[in-house]
């Protein structure tokens, strides 16, 4: 059980902006031993299903470096390897960022947020949302500074955190060891004004599948 942290205490958290030299926006986040790089790319076209509607899109990709985990995780290169977990997380990041973005203000553009996990010790999906929001903000600011768009499309900041019940106690920001013992597991994404954007809770007991 958690000893060195209060139950509602976060692990040490650092964010470094502009981590990558060639990306439109980027951020590196460390929360405990969990380390994620988020990079934002601006594409000058909307996805096919939005064509001609004058609005843009924000989407995300998520991957883990093979050596980011205790046991090497295979690259999701071959079909069948693109796991449901990855898809689920990518969709969560994308929805979270779109929920706080004025897509019309973005114009017919797509912002792709690449979240790559360098090291995984629990909470990678919420760390990815948080760092992804910073990277997106910086890319959008660049568009604004260059007068390509008229107003900031990002209406709120979003950040995420995990919550779980371990041995009957509610814990904030679970590391991997805690997460493996949690009876209930919840990820919460909120805006800077306190609005809930995504809530995902599951009561499945953990069954030794490694990554969660």
> Which parts of this chain interact with its own copies (CB under 8 A)?
20-23, 26, 33, 37, 39-41, 43, 49-50, 53, 55, 57, 61, 63, 65-70, 72, 75-80, 82-85, 87-88, 90-91, 95-96, 98-99, 103, 112, 114, 116, 118-120, 195-205, 207-210
Nearer of residues 6 and 129 to its own copies, judged by Cβ: 129
How many CA atoms does the CB half-sphere of 75 hold within 13 Å?
3
Nearer of residues 6 and 203 to its own copies, judged by Cβ: 203
The CA-based angle 184-80-208, given to 5 degrees, is: 30
Kindly write down the DSSP assignment for every residue of 134-159, as one continuous string. HHHHHHHHHHHHTTSSSS-SB-S-EE
- Helix (H, G, I), strand (E, B), or coil: what is residue 97? helix
Q: Least separation, in Å, of the C-beta of 157 and its own copies?
A: 15
Q: Least separation, in Å, of the C-beta of 208 and its own copies?
A: 6
Nearer of residues 6 and 79 to its own copies, judged by Cβ: 79
Q: For the packed helices 84-99 and 124-145, what is the interaxial angle rounded to 10 degrees?
A: 40
* Measured distance CA(147)–CA(178) in Å, rounded: 47
Q: Least separation, in Å, of the C-beta of 147 and its own copies?
A: 22
């Amino acid at each position: 059980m958690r000893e060195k942290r209060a139950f509602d205490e976060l692990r040490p958290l650092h964010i470094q902006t502009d981590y990558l030299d060639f990306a439109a926006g980027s951020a590196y986040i460390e929360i405990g031993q969990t380390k994620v790089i988020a990079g934002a790319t601006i594409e000058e076209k909307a996805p096919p299903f939005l064509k001609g509607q004058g609005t843009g899109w924000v989407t995300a990709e998520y991957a883990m470096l093979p050596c980011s985990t205790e046991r090497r995780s295979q690259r999701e290169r071959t079909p069948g390897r693109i796991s449901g977990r990855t898809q689920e997380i990518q969709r969560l990041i994308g929805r979270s960022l779109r929920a706080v973005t004025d897509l019309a203000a973005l114009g017919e553009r797509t912002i792709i947020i690449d979240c790559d996990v360098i090291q995984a010790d629990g909470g990678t999906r919420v760390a990815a949302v948080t760092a992804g929001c910073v990277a997106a903000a910086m890319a959008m600011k660049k568009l604004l500074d260059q007068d390509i768009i008229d107003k900031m499309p990002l209406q709120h900041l979003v950040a995420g955190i995990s919550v779980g019940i371990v041995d009957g106690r509610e814990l904030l920001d679970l590391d991997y060891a805690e997460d493996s013992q949690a009876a209930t597991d919840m990820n919460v994404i909120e805006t800077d004004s306190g609005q809930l954007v995504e809530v995902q809770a599951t009561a499945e007991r953990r069954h030794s599948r490694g990554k969660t």
